[in-house]
Amino acid sequence: MSERITRPQIPMSEMTITPGSACQGCGAALAARLAFKALGPNVIRHGIPCCPDSVTKTPRAGSVFEGGGAMLTGTSRALKALGRTDVKAVAFFGDGGTYDIGFQGLSGAAERNENVFVITKDNEAYMNTGNQRSSATPKYSRTSTTPIGPKSRGKDTPKKNIPFIFAAHYVPYVATASVGYPEDLIAKVNYAKDIEGFKMLIIQAPCPVGWRFDPAKTIEIARSGVQTGVWPLMEIEHGETFKLNYKPKELKPVSEYLKPQARFRHMTDAEVSDVQEFTTNRWESLVKSDESGRIII
Amino acid sequence: MSYEVMVGNKAAATAVKLAKVQVASAFPITPQTTITQYLSEMYAEGSWDFDFVNVEGELSSQVVVQAASRVGARTFTCTSGPGLLYMHHPMQGTGSGRLPVVMAVVHRGYKGMQPDHSDLMSQQWTGWGHQYVEHAQEVLDSLLMAYKVAEDPRIRIPIAVGYDGYVLSYTAEPVEIPDQALVDSWLPPNKPIPSILPDEVDPSTFARGWGGGDPQMPWKIHHEAILKIEDVLKETMDSFEKTFGRRYGNGMIETYMMDDAECAIVAMGTIAGTCKAAVEKMQKEGKKVGLIKLRSFIPFPYNDFKEWAKKLDGFAIVDRSICPGKGGPAFGKIRDALYDMEERPKLLQFHAGLGGKEVRTHDFEMIGDKILNYVKGGKEDQITWV
């Protein structure tokens, strides 16, 4: 498990080149800035179609949208063949390339326990093409393909539990992080980068344009996601060992997270209660897992 | 040098071993399957530094070799029919990326599992070099030559070598295996251009992204690089013969009994071998017809067909694939090659061997008789389904 760090331990050197091409208040650009700081220069960054969140001072490999896992595999195997295992094959993918179109290849890479590091900036919809729903979109969220109308209340199913799905591949390391908790995010990158085998970090990256909130509030939204238990910060090793990294005595009500985001503005009190119940139940099970140190589903 | 009786798929795997491929990746599909088994056995033996990635689908196998080639490893993948269609999307990136991947395509048609050339023919727009071969020895030799050509700094283009499933993939023939030392000296290790390693990479590529420059220019450069394969393949065929004592025409085409021929049958793949037997028989009977085996479909041997057109009265062109509504691809390209000539030979189009339909020597005799009759002014159908 990662070791806690303090803010002064965050590296000063920047790997991202500014100005980037991201929107104001982009959570994904911040996720890239933090993650690549911790990774340092000796990486090949792998990209597939996603928001153009950032440009980093690293060589860059690209391939087809559905090919992320295989691309990392090829790079990692070739680096081994050439005796260059000092170089790390790192992905910076979106939720589409992780949860959906890229899922098969990533599942294959995880099952083969390829020596790769997958970092996902999860902004909970296909933001690059204009906020269409993905399987990372939470229930009731309004997107351009789940509009609100007499027959639709937004997305009608919950967000896919991707950390647990990848943990079920028994890979060395799966964790979640949030741009609202940079020390935790960097600590996890520091820990994961030197693990041999498949490691994955899913970073929740609020998107002011798609989630529809004031771009100045990105960090507030990210923090409230964690504090309400909607986006729990956790680590899972070998599909078994479990740790919650943020565990308040009491969770804040989910309405604090939902209210400032216009994507949830249409929600009725009953729908908010539905999300609250789902979140509370899930949180209780995570706390049990954390207390026993092992996943209890 | 040694001999072994082996099936076409083992000849392909043997070429992978001789070329000391560093990273291979494939997903099993009939009739390519046994290549993946041979490669797995080679990995288990560990006789050279070889990594074989058993992926979860063909698309991933193409992306694995694409990425490994970009880092600088020598790579190999292989597939058949539907598997090739599944990897269509990343094949574009391997082509555009100018990555010298070599792939064996063990032909399998779409309508059923038997061989025809529609799988590889459907990939003409992916920016690869495409070759069609006839027998197990040619599979081994062509794959070795494919590395030499693909990795040439003047080329840097991926090459697909196609051979018919079952009749070649699962049929045993005696194959001469070249000495490893000889292959090592003839085929030096691959050198990546440019490097993607952090300590070697050109920093100007960091901010590579959308837009900038003439969007058409990459297509022009890519097209011109593929055209250069013609000269490099011919040069490689000469050096291959010098080193290993075998050759297959000039690499682009291989001719058989064409010295006194007035007409040529044009065929590709294993049925070209059947045609050789038919041509021998016909020439004994005084019929002046020979064979032009079309080996390289991309780039297309325009120059060779123009040269032969000056000497011949007619071509009978046999396509083992069809673009429905458009016709046989080899027929179309040959007619295209001859358009600018003042005097053009006569052409007949034949569809044969589609869906694995058997093509026998007497079919080729019929084809030969038709073209000989046609050039003498006889009446023949423009298109014949054999």
Statement to judge: residues B258 and B240 lie in one domain:
no
Q: Has residue B206 got a pLDDT over 70?
A: no
B272 and B202: one domain? no
For chain B, how many structural domains are there in total?
2
Which residues, including other chains, have CB under 8 Å from residue A281's CB and lie 6 or more apart?
Answer: none
Using pLDDT thresholds of 50, 70 and 90, give the confidence band for residue B61.
very high
Domain A7-292: CATH class, spelled out:
alpha beta
pLDDT at residue B209 above 90?
no
Q: Which one of B52, B71, B190 would you mutate to disrupt binding with A, by most A Cβ within 10 Å of its Cβ?
A: B71
Do B29 and B4 meet the contact criterion of CB atoms below 8 Å apart?
A: no
Among the partner residues A67, A69, A78, nearest to B23 by beta-carbon distance: A78
Q: Give the total residue count for chain A.
A: 297
Q: Which residues contact B232 (CB under 8 A, 6 or more apart)?
A: B149, B152, B154, B155
CATH number at residue B323: 3.40.50.920
Q: Is the pLDDT of residue B379 over 80?
A: yes
Cβ contacts of B355 within 8 Å, gap of 6 or more: B109, B111, B112, B114, B116
Give the CATH number for residue B227: 3.40.50.970
Q: What is the pLDDT of residue B212?
A: 67
* Residue B81 and residue B208 in one domain: yes
End-to-end alpha-carbon separation of chain B, Å? Answer: 41
Average pLDDT, chain B: 95
Among A224, A181, A220, A230, smallest CA distance to A203 is for A181
Residue B204 has pLDDT above 70, yes or no: no
**Would you say B141 and B11 are in contact if contact means Cβ atoms under 8 Å apart?**
no
Q: Is the pLDDT at B107 greater than 70, yes or no?
A: yes
Size of interface A-B (CB pairs under 8 A): 139
Contacts of B225 (CB under 8 A, 6+ apart): B98, B154, B155, B156, B157
Residue A19, pLDDT score = 73
The complex's ipTM?
0.95
Q: Where are the alpha helices (DSSP H) in A130-204?
A: 162-167, 182-193
What is the pLDDT averaged over residues A178-182? Answer: 98
Exposure class string for A223-260: b at 16+ Cβ within 10 A, else e? bbbbbbbbbbbbbbbebeebbbbbbeeebeebbbbbeb
Out of A57, A81, A84, closest to residue B23 by CB: A81
Q: How far is CA B295 from the centre of its chain?
A: 6
Share of chain B above pLDDT 90, in %: 91
Pairing mode of beta strands A199-204, B296-298: unpaired
- Residues linked to residue B348 through DSSP beta bridges, in sequence order: B316
**Is B60 in Cβ contact with A64 (below 8 Å)?**
no
Q: Are B300 and B261 in contact (CB under 8 A)?
A: no
Cross-chain CB nearest to A70 (options B51, B63, B196): B63
Same-domain pairing of B206 and B335: no
Q: How far is CA A177 from CA A36, B110, B116, B335, in A?
A: 14, 47, 52, 62
Question: Which strand (E) or helix (H) includes residue B366?
Answer: helix B361-375
Q: Which residues in chain B have Cβ-Cβ distances shorter than 8 Å to A69?
A: 60
Q: What is the pLDDT of residue B375?
A: 98
Residues of B with CB below 8 A from A43's CB?
198
Q: Could you say which of B192, B210, B244 is where a domain stops?
A: B244
Q: What DSSP state is assigned to residue A146?
A: B
Query: How is residue B256 written in tokens?
Result: 């058989």
In DSSP notation, A184-243 reads HHHHHHHHHHT-SS-EEEEEE---IIIII--GGGHHHHHHHHHHTTSS--EEEETTTEEE
Residue-number span of the structural domain to which B284 is assigned: 253-385
B293 and B315 housed in the same domain: yes
Nearest to A28 by CA among A50, A61, A5: A50
Average pLDDT over residues B173-200: 91
The H helix count followed by the E strand count for chain A is 9, 12
Residue B87 has pLDDT above 60, yes or no: yes
Q: Are residues B95 and B117 in the same domain?
A: yes
Q: Is B25 in contact with A74 (Cβ distance < 8 A)?
A: yes
Mean pLDDT score, A70-99: 97
**A131 versus B200: which is more confidently predicted?**
A131
Got the DSSP string for B242-291? HHHS---TTSSEEEES-TT-SEEEEE-THHHHHHHHHHHHHHHTT--EEE
User: Which of B192, B225, B244 represents a domain boundary (last residue)?
Assistant: B244
Q: Of B209, B244, B279, at which residue does a domain stop?
A: B244
Task: Say if residue B318's pLDDT is above 60.
Answer: yes
pLDDT at B192: 76
For residues B119-133, give the mean pLDDT. 97
Model confidence at B211: pLDDT above 60: no
Which residues fall within 8 angstroms of residue B84, CB to CB, at 6 or more apart?
Answer: B58, B105, B119, B120, B122, B123
pLDDT > 70? residue B291: yes
- pLDDT at res. B214: 83
B212: left (phi over 0), alpha (psi -120 to 50) or beta: left
CB contact under 8 A, B73 and A82: yes
Residue corresponding to tokens 């050339």: B117
Per-residue pLDDT for B208 more than 60? no
pLDDT at A208: 98
- Residues A71, B150, B115: CA angle, nearest 5 degrees: 80
Averaged pLDDT for residues B343-372 = 97
Contact at CB, B60 and A112, closer than 8 angstroms = no
Per-residue model confidence (pLDDT) at position B210: 52
Same domain, B102 and B215: yes
When CB atoms are compared, the residue of A41, A64, A78 closest to B93 is A64
Q: How far is A294 from chain B (nearest CA, A)?
A: 29
Contact between residue A257 and residue A221 where contact means Cβ atoms under 8 Å apart: yes
Q: Are residues B102 and B78 in the same domain?
A: yes
DSSP B179: P
Spatial neighbors of B128 by CB under 8 A, at least 6 apart, are: B91, B94, B95, B103, B157, B158, B159, B160, B298
Q: What is the least distance, in Å, from the CA of A168 to any CA of chain B?
A: 17
Model pLDDT, residue B1:
84
Q: Are A26 and A208 in contact (CB under 8 A)?
A: yes
Alpha-carbon gap: B181 to the closest alpha carbon of chain A (Å): 21
Q: How far apart are alpha carbons B260 and B142 in whole angstroms?
A: 28
pLDDT in tens, B355-364: 999 999 999 9
Q: What is the pTM of this model?
A: 0.96
Confidence of residue B215 (pLDDT cuts 50, 70, 90): confident
Termini Cα distance of chain A: 20
Cβ burial B146-174 (10 Å sphere, 16+ → b, else e): bbbbbbbeebbbbbbbbbbbbbbbbeeee
Residues B222, B81 share a domain:
yes
Q: Do B237 and B260 have their domain in common?
A: no
Are the beta carbons of B57 and A80 separated by less than 8 Å? Answer: no
Phi, psi of A40 (to 5 degrees): 75, -170
pLDDT at A297: 75
Mean pLDDT, rounded, for B124-132: 97
pLDDT for the residue B205 = 62
Q: What is the pLDDT of residue A74?
A: 98
What percent of chain B clears pLDDT 70, i.e. is strictly above it?
98
**CA–CA dist A257, A121 (Å, integer):** 19
Q: How many residues does chain B have?
A: 386
